[in-house]
Chain A
Amino acid sequence: MTESKQTYNEAAQRLEAIVATLERGGMGLDETLKMYEEGAALLKTCQAELIAAEGRLNELRLDELEQELQTEAP
């Protein structure tokens, strides 16, 4: 599963699991750091998803959008 294909849900679930594991503790420093880095990356992914949902607000009548898409058609 590549990061870009990861859905918000998957990223959020993995992030929760990582935080829970780190909170339980008992891991080596290398592993802790690796998990921290993965967690930080997942956080960024999730935050980016929030921003990605913002965008244009279109409100058109049916025929307006039909025309718009027609002129765009190849």
Chain B
Amino acid sequence: MTGRGEVTTGPLPVGQFVTMVKRALTSEPLFQRQAIKGEVSQWKSYASGHTYFTLRDNDGQMSAVIWKGRCTIHPSIKEGTEVVVTANVDVYVKRGNIQLVVERIEPVNALGAMEEAKRLLVERLRNEGELDRPRTRPPAIPKHIAIVTGAGSAALADMQQLIENRWPGLRRTVIGVLVQGQRASEEIVRALALTRRLADPVVAAKRGEPPVDLVIVGRGGGSPEDLWAFNLEPVIRSIIASPVPVVSAVGHESDLLVSDLVADVRASTPSNAIERTVPVRAELEQWLDELDDRLAHATRRTFGDARQRLIGLHARLKVAPLAGINVERRSMLSLQSRLNRATESKLANERTRLASIEASLHTIHPKRVLERGYAMTQTKDGTVVTNTKMLELGQEFSLHFVDGSAEAAVTQIHTMEEEQ
């Protein structure tokens, strides 16, 4: 078979060409499951069970076929009825006809009645204040998501895939329900009742899992009637009754349903619901790693600064007079002990660096000063003499040297002022 992009030689047989056209048209997503509005003409049902008609409006028309048993045909549909069809474009190769293969057909007036019921429900909800009720924000990291959606649906597969991409192994309970047809709303309501039970801490504890803290309810795109369950009062009421935040995730971007109006979060599609509520775990981890680094770095820097101050003090002490030593030394010792305490638990490397400072501190012990030729003067009661005012003529005192002491008495006092 000749496909697109293949090199061909010579003219194509027409059958082959039409097949190529068919392939091109049917692979275009825009032409699949498209809702189209128009008027029915040349309506013809055959004994085979297939129905053929033309869908037309003032600007154009197209052949359409409803294969046997493919969808329910409303009895009111006849020549001239305004309808909305959901259909796929196909090409009937034998005749080269483009046609719509209809999957769903609804008279517009039937839709009109449904729209009216929806409008009344919204009105009622508005009067009751339900549309303005405070919304609950979804948790930053959901610990247990309940997903209510079509069992085995494409929307569910998309959501599962997206969750696994963003947060592998995220805890979740999927409750498969019918999302269209007569029983859809009843099943959705029952499923939402189950999520309320799973959100109950007592029930959750019994099951050995955290309570459900987020509910996503929705389905993929479809015709307005397919989505209709999400416009029905029982479903709406049970969304409102949920103790945990509910995300409404129905259809495509353009579909606005009553469930979107009352839910805590309105997601445009099921995938969008996941994007809005499930964070990317790797990003959070990276962010926490960064904070970890910054925390350690900033703390280490503060301690480094303190060490620099100590080194500065050390330099000043080396040139400080004897009298200053005790004061400086006390403050240094206290700094040192605070530092020691502080670094005990967390900053072992700081401690080793401090130890080296401690070693150098040792060199400025008073004894080292005495070695350099200074002497310390003490009165009999042990007071260190720091100035001449502390002495009187004739008073006895002790002079302390590095290797011993000598007793002496004051014979004369000179003050600086006198000398000048």
Q: Interface on A for B, CB 8 Å cutoff? A: 7-9, 12, 15-16, 18-19, 22-23, 25, 27, 29-30, 32-33, 35-37, 39-40, 43, 46-47, 49-50, 52-62, 65-66, 69, 72
- The binding surface of chain A is classed by DSSP as helix
Whether the Cβ atoms of B299 and A22 lie closer than 8 Å is: yes
Whether the Cβ atoms of B187 and A25 lie closer than 8 Å is: no
Known contacts A30-B342, A46-B288, A72-B203, A54 near B175 by CB under 8 Å:
no
Number of A-B contacts (CB under 8 A): 123
Q: How many Å lie between the Cα of A72 and that of B205 in the bound state?
A: 11
Q: How many Å lie between the Cα of A39 and that of B207 in the bound state?
A: 34
B138-146, B226-234, B266-274, B398-406 - interface stretch: B138-146
Of B141, B174, B301, most A-chain CB atoms within 10 Å: B141
Q: How many Å lie between the Cα of A65 and that of B187 in the bound state?
A: 12
Min CB distance, A23 to chain B, in Å? 5
Chain B: residues with Cβ within 8 Å of the partner, total of 47
Of A12, A23, A32, A49, the contact of B294 (CB 8 Å cutoff):
A23
Of A37, A52, A59, the contact of B176 (CB 8 Å cutoff):
A59
Q: How many Å lie between the Cα of A39 and that of B175 in the bound state?
A: 40
Q: How many Å lie between the Cα of A25 and that of B305 in the bound state?
A: 10
B288-303 interface bits toward A, Cβ cutoff 8 Å, 1 = contact, 0 = none: 1001101100110111
Known contacts A29-B342, A30-B342, A56-B171, A36 near B295 by CB under 8 Å:
yes
Whether the Cβ atoms of A62 and B210 lie closer than 8 Å is: no
Min CB distance, B170 to chain A, in Å? 6
Of A9, A32, A35, A60, the contact of B303 (CB 8 Å cutoff):
A32
B27-35, B123-131, B189-197 - interface stretch: B189-197
With both beta carbons as reference points, the residue of chain B lying nearest to A37 in the complex is identified as B346
- The binding surface of chain B is classed by DSSP as helix
Whether the Cβ atoms of A72 and B207 lie closer than 8 Å is: yes
Whether the Cβ atoms of A53 and B141 lie closer than 8 Å is: yes
A-B contact pairs, 13 of them (CB 8 A): A22-B298, A25-B305, A27-B302, A33-B299, A36-B299, A50-B141, A50-B284, A54-B169, A55-B210, A58-B172, A62-B175, A62-B191, A72-B203
Of A46, A57, A61, A62, most B-chain CB atoms within 10 Å: A62
Of A47, A52, A60, the contact of B288 (CB 8 Å cutoff):
A47
Whether the Cβ atoms of A39 and B346 lie closer than 8 Å is: no
B67-79 interface bits toward A, Cβ cutoff 8 Å, 1 = contact, 0 = none: 0000000000000
With both beta carbons as reference points, the residue of chain B lying nearest to A55 in the complex is identified as B171
Asked if B281 is at the interface of the complex by the 8 Å CB criterion, the answer is yes
With both beta carbons as reference points, the residue of chain A lying nearest to B301 in the complex is identified as A25
* Extra contacts besides A50-B281, A65-B191 (10): CB < 8 Å: A19-B294, A19-B298, A22-B302, A23-B294, A32-B302, A37-B346, A46-B288, A53-B170, A55-B171, A56-B209
